[in-house]
Chains A and B, each alone.
Chain A
Amino acid sequence: MPSITNISSSGLSRSFGSTRALHPIDLDVQAGITGLLGPNGSGKSTFMRCLVGLVRPDSGTAVVAGVDLEGDGVAIRQRVTYAPGELALYGELRASEHLDFLLRGRNHQALDRSRELAKALGLPLHKKVRGYSHGMKRQLVFAAAMAPDVSVRILDEPTEGLDPTKRAQVLEMMADDAQDGRTILLSSHHLGEVDAVCENLAFLDGGRLVSVENAKQVAERTSRIVRLWWTAGVPADACQVLSAAGEERVRNLEDHLLVHLSSSDPRPFLKRLADAPLPAPSAVEHGRISLALLYREIYGVDGI
């Protein structure tokens, strides 16, 4: 099936006063789930808000669900759903009333569907929202964002604050939704979950798009990485020895050594390792880099 670009941003930028929140961003997002990753303050939420017209970009254009971003973005918001990352709801409303509020401007089917989703998530709809926990509020907003029959959903940290069971349920719902050909742009700090459901990954840092990778590229990148552990800790001269032996890049991550190979076949490296004047490592891992480590490799910081 040919991939359809449902979100296209071209040179989208935004500053708040003297702070450049977004440097010009060019990004195309196809059907399926795309993860938007980046540390706090990297511009993920601002980018998402620009896409749905909540924040006016200083420059650049965007087309979302076939609609040009212009004016207050209402034409886009009619064709997409958006779940904000910052969560504050009207405590005095009952959950069912809150769904009515969130889905204003949508049809009755969307409202009915949101109630079904909320029930599936185990949310008591008769209860006032002030009695909801943070995670329950997050699920309520998620149910509202997943209900309308639209082609694009933009979800800012939809699993933040959820327990592992609910998180798995929410991810499963997203995966099912994407199976129907929808486009989901998802931001998250939970790198494990992004790893599990996203087909594409876009990395933001300091308001800049630093990398866009699909699952294949991530697999290729990870297949070139070998990690080594020693019981007594990383030998002091390990980096120097392995670099001299011809490895492309060797980094000492304190508890272990990370080696970037020149090819995805680890056998030549393992042979060189065996010949090197180093103690035998207690553990060797190949091709199983976590997104947290990938994140660290790109940004030099730990993902949360």
Chain B
Amino acid sequence: MLLGYTLVLELMLVAAILYWPNFRDHLGAVKLLSKPLPVLGDIISKVESIGVAAYVVGQHFFKGCNVLGAAAAALIGAAAVAGEAQRGTLEIWLARPVTRLRLASERFLSGQSVIWLGIFLTTLTIPLLLSQVDESMRLDRLLLCATHQCLFLGAIFSVTFLISCASSEPTRISMGVLFFTIFEFGIYLVKTVTHWSIYRLADIEVYHKVLVSGALDWSIAGPLLGVNVLGFWGGYAFLQRRCP
């Protein structure tokens, strides 16, 4: 799972960065094309004014990680405990002399680590890829953006994990979360309802702030971290009462 997810993210990143010179040269035409979609127009304007940094965070974090990472978070989170129930292995999983806190922690952290590792490993390659198109970005700032992205996707994973701890139907959970995230990504692109989308918490504007300030925006990262923690403890509370 980790390998596939990381590989696809990296391939998307390589394609996006190698395409940058072409994209930059045709920004005017792209801007014209995006006129019917004001939100897309705003994104193009940001790329035009900020440059490669906005393009990279838009391609890698806002598009690649937000879409692919959300799918990974939904699939991994849904299978965490409900997957055991569905395949009938919940009882042997719980019956060993291991505390439920430890079982919950292991499942939670292993799921989070798949998401985090994929994002960090691919982010580490950005400076090298940018050097191929004669551009550069500070790695420390990029890693801060990656941390914010992980907190955002971690929050999606944590909520999915919580539901998984109380359910026996991983397919329904993952489909539900996937539908929700696609819906949220969809409404992000509609100007009048953009503010209702969770993707406002991980868009180009947020990442640009992180890149410029060199610090996480805790007004967003804090609540995301809170959702991560609450998701884990909520899931653990359900798991504690869970019968095989």
Residues of A within 8 A of B (CB): 16, 49, 52, 54-56, 72, 74, 77-78, 82, 84, 86-90, 101-106, 141
Contacts and interface: CB of A to CB of B under 8 A. Distances in A.
B95 A72 contact: no
A52 B241 CA distance: 14
A89 B98 contact: no
Contacts of A89: 89, 92
B26 interface: no
A299 to B, nearest CB: 26
B91 A84 contact: yes
Nearest to B99: A74
A54 B88 contact: no
A77 B98 CA distance: 8
B92 A77 contact: no
Q: Contact size class for B?
A: 10 to 19
Contact of B87 (A49, A84, A88, A106): A88
B95 A54 contact: yes
Nearest to B95: A82
Contact of B97 (A88, A101, A106): A106
Contact of A104 (B89, B98, B100): B98
24 contacts: A49-B243, A54-B91, A54-B94, A54-B95, A54-B243, A56-B243, A72-B100, A72-B101, A74-B97, A74-B99, A77-B96, A77-B97, A84-B92, A84-B244, A86-B88, A88-B89, A101-B92, A102-B92, A103-B96, A104-B96, A105-B96, A105-B97, A105-B98, A141-B92
Given A84-B95, A105-B96, 13 more contacts: A54-B94, A54-B95, A54-B244, A56-B241, A72-B240, A74-B98, A78-B97, A84-B91, A86-B88, A87-B88, A88-B92, A101-B96, A104-B98
Interface SS majority for chain B: loop
Given A54-B243, A56-B241, A72-B240, A88 B95 contact: no
A163 to B, nearest CB: 23
Given A86-B88, A88-B87, A88-B88, A52 B95 contact: yes
Interface string B209-244: 000000000000000000000000000000011011
Contact of A55 (B92, B96, B97, B244): B244
Nearest to A80: B97
Contacts of B240: 72
Contacts of B100: 72, 74
Nearest to B88: A88
Contacts of A78: 97
A106 B97 CA distance: 8
Interface in B76-91: 87-89, 91
A240 B97 CA distance: 59
A56 B96 CA distance: 16
Most central of A16, A54, A72 by chain B CB within 10 Å: A72
Contacts of A16: 243
Interface in B135-194: none
A272 to B, nearest CB: 54
A124 B98 CA distance: 27
A185 to B, nearest CB: 15
B244 A49 contact: yes
Nearest to A76: B97
Closest 5 pairs between A and B when the two form their complex, measured CB to CB? A88-B88, A105-B97, A77-B97, A78-B97, A84-B91
Contacts of A49: 243-244
Contacts of A90: 89
Contacts of B98: 74, 104-105
Contacts of A54: 91, 94-95, 243-244
Nearest to A83: B95
A77 B91 CA distance: 13
